[in-house]
Amino acid sequence: MTSWMTNVVFGLFFLLAFTGLFFFVLTRGALLVRGMSSAQNSAKSHVYPLYSNMRLIKLVDFQPIISAILLFQYSTLVSKIVAGLGATDLKNKKVLITSCAFGNVIPRVVDAAVQSGASSVVIADIIGNELEHAKGKLGQYDGKIEYVENNATAMTQQAGGVDANVIFFLLHELPHPLKLKALSEAGRMLAPGGKLYLAEFHRPELRILRLLSWTYFKVFEPFGLALWDSHDPVSCLQEMGGWTCERSTYFFGNFQVVVATKE
């Protein structure tokens, strides 16, 4: 191997190692540190610094990075949700986005809701900095959006007040009991006949992908593996009752979009 090839290999190794360490420190590493302090009892103790510190939010929220993390399936997953909203008559109705997410999902969802006639879109997040960051992406929709600092597991909005609720990659970051609370609250917010659009990780079909995903969750996202079995969102919603669910999977089953209709 020539010297330049050796340098490239070592350079890529260093870059991947540094990136992995960076995300570990700001995800599971932070949870481990909090677990040794009184901060573990806070309602925000499960929130990574990556999603609460404004400088880190702006540093990481770069579309190519976010797309790469989701194995370049990001646009496909968002398009599934946008298509559902676009096919729904939302005239004079309200849409809720429960928890902010990186990338362009929020602008695309807001645009689809407005184009379908929604009178307003409520964006709720437990972290104020996330809401401030979202505002920077949505200036053209001023007057159509309400920003609310709210906990997805204990919403203070009016029950049954929205006709669509979008939750984009939130459940895998919540401790297991909070997953059920978030799903319960998502349903409580919806009017009868309203739809919940939920995008998340899913148990891959291919063994190699399953192994890689298992390793990823063990290292970075300790609450994510439960989505494969004990806290599969479709199973949880069906056990709660009052839901009709449709699930679409992507990239050999590695991701899912669930469209659940409240009966």
pLDDT tens for each residue of 89-141: 999 999 999 999 999 999 999 999 999 999 999 999 999 999 999 999 998 99
Higher pLDDT, 25 or 125: 125
Q: Mean of the pLDDT values across residues 24-53?
A: 73
Amino acid at 238: Q
pLDDT at position 37 over 70: no
pTM of the predicted model over 0.95: no
* DSSP assignment letter at 119: S
Question: What pLDDT score was predicted for residue 88?
Answer: 95
CB-based burial label for 38 (10 Å; 0-12, 13-18, 19+): exposed
Token output for 50: 């990556």
> Using CB atoms within 10 A of its CB, is residue 241 exposed (0-12), middle (13-18) or buried (19+)?
exposed
Has residue 166 got a pLDDT over 70?
yes
Q: How confident is the model at residue 7 (pLDDT cuts 50, 70, 90)?
A: low
CB 60 within 8 A of CB 102: yes
Q: How many CB atoms lie within 10 A of CB 207?
A: 8
pLDDT at 40 over 60: no
What pLDDT does 41 receive?
63
What pLDDT is recorded for position 55? 92
DSSP letters spanning 175-226? -HHHHHHHHHHHHHHEEEEEEEEEEEE---SSHHHHHHHHHHHHHT-TTSGG
**pLDDT category, 5, cuts 50, 70, 90?**
low
pLDDT of residue 12: 60
Span 59-80, average pLDDT: 95
Residue 78 has pLDDT above 80, yes or no: yes
Whether residue 259 has pLDDT greater than 90? yes
Separation in Å, CA 243 to CA 82, 122, 228: 21, 22, 20
Task: Give the whole-angstrom CA distance, residue 25 versus residue 32.
Answer: 9
